[in-house]
Amino acid sequence: MDWQTSEDTVPSSVITEANRRQLLGKPPATGAWRDGDPAGARRFAHIGDVPLEAGGVLPKVRIAYETWGELAPDGGNAVLVLHALTGDSHVVGAAGPGHPTAGWWSGIVGPGLAIDTEKFFVVAPNMLGGCQGSTGPSSLAPDGVEWGSRFPFLTIRDQVAAQLRFADAIGIRRFAAVVGGSMGGMHALEWAITAPDRVERLAVLAAPAISSADQIALNSVQVEAVRADPAFAGGDYYDAPDGEGPHRGLALARRMALLNYRSPSELNERFGRSWQSGISPLGGGGVYAVESYLDFHGNKFPRRFDANSYIRLVEAMSSHDVGRDRGGLDAALARVTAECLVVGIDSDRLFPVEEQERLTRLLPRTVHGDHALVIESAYGHDGFLIEDDLVSAALRTLLP
């Protein structure tokens, strides 16, 4: 649900008119990775047909993924890293052909780091419904045309079902750890409930056990912002004659989301009431610095993401309820046999610490007792992407 770290930490000093002019060219109809684009570090696994929780089957599913490190002969050192809403499989590495942004967790995953690639074999898939190589709305359906509006509704459980098949396809039966933040934390938790025998350790960062009415409401206005763009064309915009896509609606949804990812104190301290140009907003011609910041990230986003994917993934987040059809939260979480780490961010206004506290109370085994491990950060929800030292220290309490 969160930005890539490389975008998220752009200081206000570099959001200049030159930066803004770079974004004036028309974005493509979709920022998705498409067949024929450079593969970069991606690999692909074909996992067959995936039955869906709401009914029906998604046929001929492909999962894009990346790996780091070496798998031990006994297969016991595999770690699954699951990305957030707008992330992808590119956890570590430079931006370049096939990868529009640099790795989103390069301070956490790597040689000698908290998720040590000299010790662990790290696997990161792009989630089902995504737009960076895995089957999603921008992928070609069996009839050779993009899925578009025909792409089915997905739940978090559907995405985890695909990840389980993916793990089978690459030959990993059990993970030494499953780690995820935000939407990836929802996936990680579902892993430990759906397949407890396949998860030795579990790390859930800045994620809840169930999406609340408040979070569903926030998701719904973002979805409507995309759908309200005339260029959305009901979801079938890939072959628009002029190449026009719903980038305005997608950019607006991104701006809305950012306000939930950051804390009020951080925005106030960083930008105050300053304006970007020399003309005061009181005169009607200026732009507040915080508005420029939102514009920069909102306008950049459609160049690397797909509007249909954004809708399907946000809807999947709203579906998140580990207790659904399992007898409630208590019964569902009692299934978890993994040793658990639950991390909250004290300034998180999207998934407040109270939700990680409830999760911790209900999990059978945590490394930090009856309370969540809380990181103090001014960055709000995005702290799990930005606070490398604090997140590393937390992960080291769980990982051997």
Spatial contact of 105 and 66, defined as CB atoms under 8 Å apart: no
Beta strands 109-110 and 177-181, pairing class = unpaired
Enter the tokens of residue 280.
């005061």
Whole-number Å distance between alpha carbons of 133 and 114: 27
Contacts of 327 (CB under 8 A, 6+ apart): none
Question: Reduced to 3 states, what is the DSSP secondary structure of residue 276?
Answer: coil
The catalytic residue positions are: 182, 348, 381
C-alpha to C-alpha distance for 310 and 325, rounded to whole angstroms:
26
3-state SS assignment for residue 392: helix
Residue 181's alpha-carbon distances to 206, 320, 339, in angstroms, are: 6, 14, 17
Tell me how far apart the alpha carbons of residues 256 and 198 are, in angstroms, rounded to a whole number. 37
Nearest 10 degrees: CA dihedral of 132, 136, 139, 145?
A: -160
Phi then psi for residue 273, to 5 deg, are -110, 20
